Amino acid sequence: MKKYTIYLIIPIFILSNLTATTNEILDQQILEKKEINSTEKTSFHIDPKKSLKTNLQEDFQLNSLKNQPMKNAQTAAILSAVLPGAGHLYLDDYQNARYIFGCYASGYSSIYIGYIYNNFEMIYFGSYAATLGSFYGIYSAYRDARTYNNNIGYKYSMPKDSFKELALASFQPSVLKQPEVWGGYLGAMALAMGITYFSTKADVLPQCNLQFSDTTPIVAFAIGISEEALFRGYLQPSLSEVLTPTGGVIASSLIFGAAHITNTIYMSSEDRNDYLKYSLPFITTFGGYLGWMAHRNQSLKQSVALHAWYDFTLFVMRKVVCSSSIKTDPKVQFSIDF
């Protein structure tokens, strides 16, 4: 692991300290109220008039906790998209707002320093740290706004995973041993290798981006969390509210595929056509499978684990292929572009 991975580890450490969601805090307040009420009821000397007055006051306090003004979940998400952390400020959750903005700011600080010193690795890690703070912030603001409203008015049960749960998901045996995770990984790798092999011309050697091959594959775990948080954590539930669960999976996977069109910006016209013809349909289908997993489990842990390890494997393979072709110029007949 290279020394510049610290610019990705710091933001992840910041996000790992995110506090409980609004609903957990609310439930804790109510539990404390109930415990106080229960303790008072065990007293052997109770004044009936005082007890009635006290109970009425406590009932009013408990109702006030549950009847807070409703917050618009889409407003919270949009605010977070504009400025990470702003959605939680809207929810009066200042502590989590600081953590999310801190992750985003640390990423952009790395980018800025990288530009000053012409250090590509700092720019690379900083961009993924900033994206992680932004995408996770959108998902968590939307999730916490719904929780703030006690999920009143929502028909689709969305994932409620915390950042710490998503960060650990890729390394938890209980997640990795699930058939849809390891089976999906093997199936995705087989399809990716097969499509790439048969779509690559035999006389063309892989075009390697030297800067990309110098980076470490650890960014795959940040990508897995950030992309799943945005597409399966926020977009899919939002679209499912308007459409149906199936419609939400399909629509979010189409958007997921379309978002990867930006990968073709620096490709040659021939490579771009091949990417749009072969890679993009695969990515869209893969997004649909990830969406199905998130809907089935009502959690992002499975999709994050599959997505992260799939990307990690591709990054390692690409780095090995590019490094080998640069040093020994082997007759490698294919490279993986998705």
Condensed to tens digits (0 to 9), the pLDDT of residues 274-318 reads 889 888 999 999 999 999 999 999 999 999 999 999 999 988 887
Cβ partners under 8 Å of residue 300, min gap 6: 159, 161, 166, 169, 228, 229, 232, 233, 294
Locus of tokens 């539930």: 237
Structure confidence at residue 239 as a pLDDT band (50, 70, 90): very high
Q: What are the backbone dihedrals phi and psi of residue 71, each rounded to the nearest 5 degrees, phi first? A: -110, 140
What length does the chain have?
338
Cβ partners under 8 Å of residue 208, min gap 6: 318, 321, 322, 325, 326, 335
In this structure, the number of other CB atoms found within 10 A of the CB of residue 48 comes to 7
pLDDT given at position 64 = 47
In this structure, the number of other CB atoms found within 10 A of the CB of residue 6 comes to 13
pLDDT given at position 185 = 97
* Better-scored residue on pLDDT, 156 or 322: 156
d(C-alpha 211, C-alpha 215), whole Å: 7
pLDDT at 213 over 60: no
What are the respective helix, strand and coil percentages of the chain, to the nearest 5? 75, 0, 25
Residue 276 token pair? 């749009």
DSSP secondary structure letter of residue 70: P
Structure confidence at residue 60 as a pLDDT band (50, 70, 90): very low
104-108, 258-262, 319-323: range with lowest mean pLDDT: 319-323
Residue 283's SS3 state is helix
Cβ partners under 8 Å of residue 326, min gap 6: 208, 210, 213
pLDDT at 242 over 60: yes
d(C-alpha 336, C-alpha 279), whole Å: 9
Locus of tokens 């929502």: 154
Q: Is the pTM of this model over 0.85?
A: no
Contact 85, 105 (CB under 8 A): no
pLDDT at 32 over 90: no
Contact 114, 120 (CB under 8 A): yes
d(C-alpha 334, C-alpha 338), whole Å: 12
DSSP string, 19-67: ---HHHHHHHHHHHHHHHHHHHHT-S---HHHHHHHHHHHHHHHHHHHT
Contact 105, 83 (CB under 8 A): no
Average pLDDT over residues 130-136: 95
Q: How far is CA 165 from the centre of its chain?
A: 11
